[in-house]
Amino acid sequence: MDDRVSPALDQVIRFCTAADGSRIAYATSGRGAPLVKAANWLSHLEHDGNSPVWRHWGRELSRDHTLVRYDERGCGLSDWTADQFSLDVWVQDLEAVVDDLGLDQFPLLGISQGGPIAIAYAMRHPERVSRLILYGTYARGQLHRELSDRQRKELELLVELIRVGWGTDHDAFRQVFTRLFIPDGTADQIHWFNELQRVSATPENAARMCAAFHLLDVRELVPRLNLPTLVLHATGDLRIPFNEGRLLASMIPGAAFVPLESRNHLLLESEPAWPRFLREVRAFLGVPADSTGDPAARRRRIEALFDEVLDLTPGERARVLAREGSSDPELRREVEALLDAAGQSGVTGKLAGALVGPAAHPLAPAALTVSPYEIVEQVGNGGMGIVYKARDPRLHRFVALKYLPASLGASPEIKRRFLQEAKTIAALDHPNLCTIFEVAEPETGQLVIVMPYYEGETLRQKIARGPLPVAEALEYGCQVAAGLEHAHAAGVVHRDIKPANIVVTPVGRVKILDFGIAKVADAKANLTRTGAVLGTLSYMSPEQACGDPVDHRTDLWAVGVVLYEMLAGRPPFTAESMEALFYAIQWRAAAPLATLRPDVPPALEALVHRLLEKDPARRVADARSLRVALDALRVEATAV
């Protein structure tokens, strides 16, 4: 036995000998009870840990277990001179790895072609396999399915294509297989998978293995399985049809079946099906829910859900929290705790991480009096804090007082940063922007933002009644673009443009509210949290949702979302979970507006979809260009 340390996964690679003398390379990584993964086609122990396709599998499966995986014969670091490929010899390879490690009992994972191997091994060694996890696999190979003559010819052509093009310098031939495995992959993921095909096996070995996979058949074995089994399968899998996974689960006594919303045969880290897969597998293996996960990603998810439900009615909020909490009760508890603290302290936590501290007793309106303003009534508790309508007796006008938590004033550093940011925002002077009159500090110690009080309703309230007329949507869009043009020229990015933050006065004047989480484009100031995800997920640009640096183009994306919603009556990206929504924003294209609103002019539809480009460089260049384009469309619409 010789050992080789691979730094990519912090794994140790060893070699053992199968029954027929073939050398099999296997690796162990992580700590804890063993979790054995049966080999599947296309693997390379040294390359997988660095790949954007496989590394998250190795990292996450090693988090709570000692993961054991190996390269099957003819592939990766294992013996490339194997004489035969069949179910029997593949099971013998697995037996050699398990025996070499001296494992007594373990859960077994079978992915893709590794599924039939795992099933056959479990039947031969029921005393060793404690649980069986089968993902993206089948009971019968393709030649045992009901195929037309054309489909059989396609299989033959694919095998021949492997022999002809697998080892060429260009990747045109290999691209065919890559698109079957990861159709939604990024350019980097596609490039890596193309290369994996080239380095993992010879063209002849790859063709022989593929032909042997088509002949696999364990249908006689699966009804006799007598152990806890979890079957998972991607609904849009192009490599192994979803129906094959469902059929397999129906044949195994007592098996649990979990459909995963994905088109990829190999789940990618960025898609919502991946955390769902991990939750299901960890629950099946008895891993505590709170023992895993990236703390930063967890924080982002909590903040995103918090922002999503903050402005909802109690009934809507309860429905969203129930939906999200069904699979993650702890997430619901954490968000409800933040909501409770926010309700008492009057803050959403968007300004800084320290804003939501221990819950404080809410203050009575009399205690909130800010000289010389006279509080009239509470008018809201969304956005950046609790808002009161107040009267300024000096100028005989109404103002809005937005109270921030005492913890903001208690921290000198946070207070300094906030006041510096407020000073920058207060300098903005434009008819479409809600400015800041002053920042007061009453005896209670709570900072108070004094702003104009506007009669009217938000775009959110207008959209709730249904899609807006095209001319009206263009009018509001022009004014929003004009306001942002002024703010961006001053170096201020709003970062939370959404219908709830846009008020339309009775005379039709648009006012953009809540620049409280704006990022001032001054590297020295750095007033908002570095790397933080601030805003409301439904309106976040792809770069903002990832926590990457943003500039004025993130506001332009949000304007695109608002325009789409005004015209279609719903946002361009919707989903049943936060993960799915995040994935849609990152990878999915919005449905063409014309399919939802046929009367939208083609030029307006093209402009909206350009604003929703994933790559910021492909969006409209700046707010001025957007204003000019919208104004031209507005003139055309009103002239009709």
As a three-state string, the secondary structure of 227-249 is CCEEEEEECCCCCCCHHHHHHHH
Q: State the CB neighbour count (10 A cutoff) for residue 313.
A: 9
Residues 6 or more apart from 434 whose CB is under 8 A from it?
451, 452, 454, 503, 511, 512, 513, 514, 515
CB 118 within 8 Å of CB 46: no
Distance between CA atoms of residues 352 and 470, nearest Å:
38
Nearest-10 Cα torsion for 278, 280, 282, 283: 160
Q: Is 290 exposed, middle or buried (0-12, 13-18, 19+ CB in 10 A)?
A: exposed
CB 504 within 8 Å of CB 510: yes
Residues 6 or more apart from 116 whose CB is under 8 A from it?
87, 110, 137, 138, 139, 141, 216, 217, 218
Q: Is 4 exposed, middle or buried (0-12, 13-18, 19+ CB in 10 A)?
A: middle
Q: State the CB neighbour count (10 A cutoff) for residue 203.
A: 18
Q: Which of 496, 551, 615, 622 is catalytic?
A: 496
486-525 burial, b at 16+ Cβ within 10 Å, e below that, comes to bbbeeebbbbbbbbbbbbbeeeeebbbbbbbbbbbeeeee
Residue 391 phi/psi, 5° resolution?
-110, 135
Active site residue 64: no
Q: Looking at the annotation, which residues are catalytic?
A: 496
